[in-house]
Structures are given as structure tokens and as C-alpha cells.
Amino acid sequence: MKRRINFIHPLLIFIFMQVAWISLLGLWIYWYVSNYIIINQVGQRLVPTVTASPRTQLFALIFGLFLLVFILAGFYFIFIYLTRQININRLYETFIANFTHELKSPLASIQLYLETLQRRNVSKEKQREFVDQMLNDTQRLKQVIDSILDISQIEQKKKIFDLKPQPIQSTVNSLLNNCKERFKLDQETLIVKGKVKGYWLVDQAAMQMVFSNLLDNALKYSPDHTPVTIRLLQEKQRFCIEFIDQGIGIEKEAQKHIFQKFYRVSAPYMPDIRGTGLGLYLVKEIVKAHFGQITVKSEGINKGTTFRLCFPLKRTLKEFKSETEKL
Ligand code: ADP
């Protein structure tokens, strides 16, 4: 079936408007240039004193052009603003569907386990397994709800990060150990490389959210049992942590958008994986609050992804003290 073009689409209206204005401008300039000499000569012959001086006419033309350009620019900005709003609304609608699914599916799973425990005679071993699964589901629910609350607090500038100077290596180890436990990883599935000496300012609870989100993504968007590598790199004034996976990768175009709120890659190569599109947005905001930067690198589909976080470091605890004394 042939697709009909919708002529009332805002983009088409906008293009028509631009063409109309630019044509008018062209016509105006053409008219001015071709008629200026004749009008001037006739005017001079009929009423020599009344015709405007060439300077005034030129000024009127330039001022008119300036106004037109100003109006065009105004239209352009309004258009960009509206398109952004439309995109946000579209993303928001899919977010609601994804978010509801993220809440419903662990709840349904918990309900199923509880009903089985209530109605059947389940062995001690199975009971333990069910409880583990239910704890996993509650953890998943907690993460989704915490993300929403944190984002809302950050956006309203109400989130207070409890930044404290901590030794880098031991904090990173402890954050990774928590992740290992949560995602049931061992030394083969979570490979840690590199060491860093020094101290950083960190809110451990918030940084746990960052590590959990990045590791969750690295596992979610990779085939089962593919190892994830964490690499620590030390530089003079800062250190970096890389989360390297060997998963489905991210196309260059999508890499520009993945830190936007609600954004999820939707492409034919993308398997049906649960998510809300909030994780990386929250990660970026938390990293920013730690005076850090986050970047993404992927050579393309099925070539894995690397997220790199870099934070300022101090060699000794005293450096923090002398800095706070200066303030
Ligand atoms: P989601 O809840 O959808 O995972 P995120 O904000 O964490 O939301 O990620 C946004 C999108 O970025 C994801 O939907 C996914 O398409 C892509 N993405 C994030 N991490 C990875 C990764 N490690 N490998 C491939 N794609 C990823």
C-alpha cells in the first residue's frame, strides 16, 4: 500500500514557511535591484526633491533584511524547541510502558514464589533458592524506585551528596565486591585489572548506584556468561575506571544519545531486553556531582562497549585538608 504524505505535519509546514520567506526575500531583493535605477530616475524626473536618498533606501533594505533574518531565526528556535518537546513526549510514553513492566515483572515473580511456598511442600534447598530469587527481585524493584527518586531529587537540586575523602583502591574493591555478590559473579566473570593509589571524594551509596548500573548493563547487553573487565588507570591528577564488556555494542549514532533521559536504543539488532532508559542518565548526573566525566566507546554492533569514568585524585589525605582550609 502506498503511504500518504501528511501535509499538516509540523516539519512540512515549517519547511513550506521557510521556502515562502526565502522566496519573498529573493523576490524583494530582485525587485529592488532591478527597479531601483528606473524608479530613481523616474522619481528624479517627476519630483526631484521628494525621492528618498539612496542612503535611506539602502538603510531601509538592510534593516528589513535584518528583521526578516531575525524572524526566521525565531521560527527556527521555536521549531527546534517544539521538536525536542515532541521527542521527549514520545520517549516519556515508552518510558511509562517500560517502567510499568519493570515494576510488574519482579512483583509477579515474587507473588509466584510466595504462592508456591504457601501451596506446596517445598524442600529446604528449594526454599532457600526461592528466597534468593525473591531477594533479587526486591533488589531490582528497589533499584528502579531509587533511580526515580534520585533523579527527581537531582533535578530539583535537592539531592545532597555525602562526599567524603576515601582511599580509592579499597572503595573500588568494596563497591565491586557488592556488585559481585548481587550479580553472582566470580573472578572469571568479573575480571579486575590495574591498581590506583590515592584518595577521592566519594558518596559511596551514590557510587554503588553507578557501579551497579554499569555492571547491570554490561551483563544485560552481553550474551550469558560473557566476562566483564574492570580496568583501573592512574594518571597524574586523576584516575579512570573502565567497564569493558564484549556484548552487542552501540552504534556511533546511538552513542550520542544514550545519556539522555528515557533514551533506549531501538534497532533491529537489539534483543528484547528490559529497561527504563534512566540508568545512564542517573549515572552521568552522579559522576558529574563527583567532579568526574563519563564517556562511551564502542566499535559498533557486536564489538562490545567500554564506559570510562574519570575522577580527580589526591595523593594524600592532607591535600584535602589544605584545600578545605583555603576555602
Ligand atoms: P536501560 O534501562 O534501557 O538499560 P540505560 O540508561 O541504562 O537504560 O541505557 C540506555 C541504553 O543504552 C540502553 O537501552 C541500551 O540500548 C544502551 N546501552 C547501555 N549500556 C550498554 C552496553 N553495555 N552495551 C550495549 N548497549 C548499552
Q: Tens digits of per-residue pLDDT, 179-228?
A: 999 898 999 999 999 999 999 999 999 999 999 999 999 999 999 989 99
Greater pLDDT, 255 or 66: 255
Pocket test for ligand 1, best of 102, 220, 258 (most atoms within 8 A of CB): 258
From atom 2 of ligand 1, which residue's Cα is the shortest distance away?
275
Q: How far is the CA of 258 from the centre of ligand 1 (A)?
A: 7
Of 18-22, 56-60, 109-113, minimum mean pLDDT range: 56-60
Strands 190-193 and 228-234, sheet pairing: parallel
pLDDT at 3 over 60: no
Greater pLDDT, 21 or 229: 229
What does the alpha-carbon distance between residue 233 and residue 239 come to, in Å, rounded to a whole number? 6
What does the alpha-carbon distance between residue 306 and residue 241 come to, in Å, rounded to a whole number? 10
Does an H or E element contain 244, and which? Answer: strand 238-245
Greater pLDDT, 213 or 271: 213
- Write down the pLDDT at residue 179: 95
Q: What is the mean pLDDT of residues 49-67?
A: 72
Q: How far is the CA of 277 from the centre of ligand 1 (A)?
A: 7
Pocket test for ligand 1, best of 251, 269, 280 (most atoms within 8 A of CB): 280
On average, the pLDDT of the chain sits at 87
- Write down the pLDDT at residue 12: 75
Q: What is the mean pLDDT of residues 101-124?
A: 93
Q: What is the mean pLDDT of residues 273-280?
A: 90
Q: What is the mean pLDDT of residues 140-167?
A: 92
What does the alpha-carbon distance between residue 141 and residue 200 come to, in Å, rounded to a whole number? 30
pLDDT at 247 over 70: yes
Of 51-55, 58-62, 77-81, 131-135, minimum mean pLDDT range: 51-55
- Write down the pLDDT at residue 2: 47
Atom of ligand 1 nearest to the CA of 281: 6
The residues that bridge with 91 in the sheet, in sequence order, are none
The maximal CA–CA distance of the chain, rounded, in angstroms, is: 112
Greater pLDDT, 3 or 290: 290
pLDDT at 1 over 50: no
Of 1-15, 48-62, 129-143, 302-316, minimum mean pLDDT range: 1-15
- Write down the pLDDT at residue 69: 85
- Predicted model pTM: 0.76
Q: What is the mean pLDDT of residues 131-138?
A: 94
| Dihedral sign (CA 96, 97, 101, 104) | positive
Atom of ligand 1 nearest to the CA of 248: 25
State what percent of residues in the chain have pLDDT above 70: 91
Strands 238-245 and 305-312, sheet pairing: antiparallel
- Write down the pLDDT at residue 15: 78
Q: Most confidently modeled of 118-127, 140-149, 151-160, 289-298?
A: 289-298
Greater pLDDT, 263 or 18: 263
- Is 278 in contact with 151 (CB distance < 8 Å)? yes
248: cell is 552487542
Within 6 A (CB) of ligand 1 lie: 213, 217-218, 221, 245, 247-248, 250, 258, 263-265, 275-281, 305
pLDDT at 20 over 70: yes
pLDDT at 273 over 80: yes
pLDDT at 7 over 70: no
What does the alpha-carbon distance between residue 22 and residue 20 come to, in Å, rounded to a whole number? 6
- Is 245 in contact with 304 (CB distance < 8 Å)? yes
177: cell is 565486591
- Is 214 in contact with 243 (CB distance < 8 Å)? yes
